[in-house]
Amino acid sequence: MAINLVKKFLSLNISGVTSGSSLLSSNTVGWLTSARNASKKSGGSSRNKPGRPRGKRRGIKKRDGLYVTQGTILVRQLGLDFYPGLNVGIGRDKTLFAREHGRVVMTTEKVNPNWDHRFIKLFYVDHEMHEDVPVYKTYFHILTDPQNMTFKLVDQV
């Protein structure tokens, strides 16, 4: 392609050009000003490539102060970032769920672990040298509604 353009340019009759006319005369405008477009589309990058799995939708599902029913998922998590508290159960994939109806309460509590336990030594390696530094954990609790105090006496037989 480039060789053909060079041959056409060299075959032009430049000697016949006067000072009043230009190289871009009416017979050469077509091939000098035309540009060839790309025959292939450029491959742009995409963030979600076909081989990548979708997100697992982990995180806090119900926040502090919301009313939940029994069995509602509170948190989906990979490890134990949040711990089960009062009326909260934990699934085998460490999902926290409500065991009773009630309001969600999140608390951050100071914990004093037993530094002689082997799991504590394994998970809190950085804190073991500094035993005076407190360890904080976030707990999810479900506070149930108080029962109404209207009772009916049943006659004993």
Q: CA distances (Å), 68 to each of 58, 101, 120, in order?
A: 19, 6, 33
State pLDDT tens for residues 113-135. 888 888 888 877 777 667 677 88
* Residue 96, SS3 per DSSP: strand
The answer to pTM > 0.85 is: no
Fold of the 59-143 domain: OB fold (Dihydrolipoamide Acetyltransferase, E2P) (2.40.50)
Kindly state the average pLDDT of the residues 63-67. 94
Q: CA distances (Å), 152 to each of 78, 155, 156, 157, in order?
A: 48, 10, 12, 16
**What is the domain partition of the chain in residue ranges?**
59-143
